[in-house]
Structure 1
Amino acid sequence: MFSLDGKVALVTGSAKGIGRAVADVLEDHGALVFGSDIAPGEEKTGQGPLLQHDVTREEDWTRVFAQIAAQAGRLDILVNNAGIILNKPFLQTGLDELRNIQRINVESIWIGMQQAAPLMAEGGGGTIVNLSSIYGQLAGPMQAAYSATKGAVRMLTKGVAVEFARGGLGIRVNTVHPGPVETDLGLSGLTPAIAAGRFADLDAAKAFVAASFPMGRWANTGDVAGAVLFLASDASRFMTGTELTVDGGYSIL
């Protein structure tokens, strides 16, 4: 049920972190994976260099999907992973900063789903996995803007899931909600607390957060990639509009 043999996938933001792990696990389970990133550098998937892709630009999405259609002829899986975080007090966050994180975290997913749907439907359907966050389900300190965008991803996914299901497109749409993950992006959330003197250094801050997990450790990228694999595969074939929280119990305390 977890086999992705014959499936074609696109994973955005896959140069590193969660996106890199997701691309790897989908490939490991048989998918032909195309990766994309705003700054791909020398990174590669099994299919070659990552595609250069600014997810806020409609023309970039059009080009990426055209390349996938030309090379693979179909699209079965879209993982909307690209995103940014903003750790800043609400009263110090400017409207321009809110609009920027909104463009990257929400509007990009809107565009991606709209453009992916026709290509997926031509092939008989598919599955979309959108990366949200536990801070789209509950409040995060100094993350009002981030929480607003991840909450928007949560509800946007549910709305589209209903429309696609009732419209007979054969496209499932679900979200994954990671808690703190030990990546460059995840660890960046500790910087303001260290600067404010709450922790002596990064190691002390990491230890404090690790102790907040009932399971006793930070999440790693593989923990999140496994959840994405489940939603991308037939093992979740009767699930749409669903939220999978991957946080080691962090959000239930």
Structure 2
Amino acid sequence: MSYDLAGRKALVTGGARGLGAGMAAALTRAGAAVAIADVRDDLGKATVESLRESGATAEFVSLDVTDDAQWERAVADTCDALGGLDILVNNAGVEITSLITELDPDDVRTMLEVNVLGTALGLKHGLRAMRPGGIAGNGGSIINISSVAATIAWPSIAVYSATKSAVDRLTRVAATEAGKLGYGVRVNCVYPGLVPTEMGARLAQDVADVGLFPDAQAAVASVIEQTPAGRLGEVADMADAVVFLASDAARFITGAGLPVDGGMGM
């Protein structure tokens, strides 16, 4: 099933690679113009060029999601380049594997800043831009990327799980505020299951390295065994869910968390 996003303008954080790049591509296939925001300028620009070669309207904006001033500039630059902002995908995130007994405070701070602060600032500037009187001002849809880790107890990712649970709570409070204040912005989140991107493959190896599984293949097999759908997720599975939530087909959905995990977190 396809969803028409013709004329919509989207900003995707962490869009240079992995899930973010897949989400940006899916949004353009549905007709949206897309700005990719990332700290990896070279990779982000290459992803934009690839999208342009497929006929999409795409731009790159440099963004460290933990920096308030950079958020303000990135949203303004997106509106200037694309002519507005209707869709924001808060996808940028980081996962650092560790048993609780071995936690490094600096790693904890990194995950809190990128995953929680980064999402909170995205909500701040996305809502400001989309609400009446904002620089875009036509309402829209914000989709935050949480994780199946927010709904299950998987060993060695305690802090990551906590930050992704925080993304869920941020989503629901933001949706409530946006509704009560008449912003015309829907706010939802997606809980992706494990996808064999670079981050997913590294996680499988990391949980083996800390002694939970004999090797990465065993870790992946355990995930599949716990997933009723019987397979890992694919980038397209997550990207299509984002397109749905961004579209008018989801017009009466806000404050929701959509599991796209093959049933693993049920």
TM-score, normalised relative to structure 1: 0.93
Aligned pair count reads 252
Which residues of 2 match residues 43-62 of structure 1 at below 5 A?
A: 43-44=47-48, 45-46=51-52, 47-48=57-58, 50-62=60-72
Q: Cα offset for 1:72?
A: 2.4
**1:137 — aligned with what?**
151
Tell whether the 8 Å contact from 1:15 to 1:50 is kept in structure 2 after alignment. no
- Return the match for 1:191 from 190, 202, 205: 205
Q: Cα offset for 1:210?
A: 2.4
Q: Cα offset for 1:204?
A: 4.1
**1:109 — aligned with what?**
119
- Return the match for 1:220 from 213, 231, 234: 234
Which consecutive unaligned segments of at least 5 residues does structure 2 have?
A: none
- % identical equivalent positions: 39
d(CA) in 2 for partners of 1:142 and 1:153? 19
d(CA) in 2 for partners of 1:229 and 1:142? 31
Which residues of 2 match residues 154-233 of structure 1 at below 5 A?
A: 154-196=168-210, 199-233=213-247
Output the aligned Cα RMSD.
Answer: 1.7
d(CA) in 1 for partners of 2:60 and 2:207? 34
**1:92 — aligned with what?**
102
**2:161 matches 1:147:** yes
**2:250 matches 1:236:** yes
Q: Cα offset for 1:197?
A: 5.5
- Return the match for 1:128 from 122, 142, 150: 142
CA deviations over 1:24-65 (Å, ceiling 9, x no partner): 110001101111111132321433553221111112112211
TM-score, normalised relative to structure 2: 0.89
CA deviations over 1:142-175 (Å, ceiling 9, x no partner): 1111111011110011001001001110000000
d(CA) in 2 for partners of 1:187 and 1:197? 16
Q: Give, as a single letter, the amino acid of the residue that structure 2 aligns with 1:114.
A: K
Q: Cα offset for 1:222?
A: 0.5
Over 3 Å counting, the alpha-carbon distance change for 1:49 and 1:33 in structure 2 is closer
Q: Give, as a single letter, the amino acid of the residue that structure 2 aligns with 1:98.
A: V
d(CA) in 2 for partners of 1:64 and 1:196? 38
d(CA) in 2 for partners of 1:204 and 1:141? 15
- Secondary structure at the aligned position of 1:250 is classed as coil
Over 3 Å counting, the alpha-carbon distance change for 1:135 and 1:198 in structure 2 is closer
